[in-house]
Amino acid sequence: MPRPIIVFDLDGTLVDTAPDLLDSLNHSLAASDLAAVDETGFRRFVGHGGRVMIERAHAAQNKALVAAEHDRLLTLFLDHYTLNIPGKSQPYPGVVAALDRFQAAGYLMAVCTNKYEANSVALIGALGLSNYFAAICGQDTFAFRKPDPRHLTETIRLAGGDPHSAVMVGDSQTDIDTAKAAGIPVVAVDFGYTDRHVREFEPTLVISHFDTLTPDLAERLIAAAR
Ligand SMILES: O=C(O)COP(=O)(O)O
Ligand SMILES: [Mg+2]
């Protein structure tokens, strides 16, 4: 019987990275004379990586964005973000205790994120969480990324798990759509980065704190999905 696996999204799920993503986004937007984005506006932009955040910020200000400028701003964003890791980012309340619970229960654990892999590995390392994860897969690890379900199923395979004994935990429609397309139960946290309540995207379950996430709950979700 393969070890069950729990796969976590990163930004807005395991780690509150909003303050640093916002700082780096505004650092890059300032280089093209766009107005700074505020915390509220920012939530509409996250979920698909830095390139899409920049694109959405321009669209929100009705500013054109040619490819060369997009590339220039993405480089500014990534250089600034990479240099500042871990910055102000912190794991959400209850995350470490939850990772300990699943580790003690013999679960495999992995991260499936649309953040670049190198920055994801660096951030997780800087926060002292590397030892929990058998795989950390970013938007550039494979030739596909969330909401493509293969990003999730290949992360599971890389970690040595079985998609039939897996649960996904995420904060956005992207995560929920990815898991549902893979036929994998998905727990949505309601404290992440989405401008609509996650229940609208019909996850398997919504939680408001990591204390609710237990191996018993995961086992029930895996059994019910079979
Ligand atoms: O970096 C992003 O835009 C989203 O990253 P996530 O998939 O970890 O939420
Ligand atoms: Mg997220």
d(CA 147, CA 178): 4
Q: How far, in Å, is the centroid of ligand 1 from the Cα of 170? A: 10
- Is position 171 annotated in a ligand binding site? yes
Ligand 1 pocket, Cβ-based, cut-off 6 angstroms: 9-12, 46-49, 113-115, 172
Nearest CA owner, ligand 1 atom 4: 47
**pLDDT, position 116:** 92
Residues of the chain with pLDDT under 50: none
**pLDDT, position 43:** 76
pLDDT tens digits, residue range 98-113?
999 999 999 999 999 9
Look-up: residue for tokens 């999204």? 9
- Is position 9 annotated in a ligand binding site? yes
Reduced 3-state DSSP string for 109-144: EEEECCCCHHHHHHHHHHCCCHHHCCEEECCCCCCC
**pLDDT, position 3:** 93
Asked whether the beta carbons of 31 and 194 are under 8 A apart, the reply is: no
Do the bridges between strand 205-207 and strand 90-91 make them parallel or antiparallel, or are there none, so unpaired? Answer: unpaired
Q: Which amino acid is at 20?
A: D
**pLDDT, position 41:** 80
Q: Which amino acid is at 168?
A: M
**pLDDT, position 85:** 96
Asked whether the beta carbons of 136 and 120 are under 8 A apart, the reply is: yes
Do the bridges between strand 186-189 and strand 166-170 make them parallel or antiparallel, or are there none, so unpaired? Answer: parallel
**pLDDT, position 201:** 97
CA 90 to chain centre: 14
Closest atom of ligand 1 to CA, residue 114:
7
Asked whether the beta carbons of 222 and 185 are under 8 A apart, the reply is: yes
| Phi and psi at residue 28, to the nearest 5° | -75, -40
Q: How far, in Å, is the centroid of ligand 2 from the Cα of 175? A: 7
**pLDDT, position 48:** 75
Q: What is the DSSP letter of 24?
A: H
d(CA 81, CA 98): 27
Asked whether the beta carbons of 25 and 37 are under 8 A apart, the reply is: yes
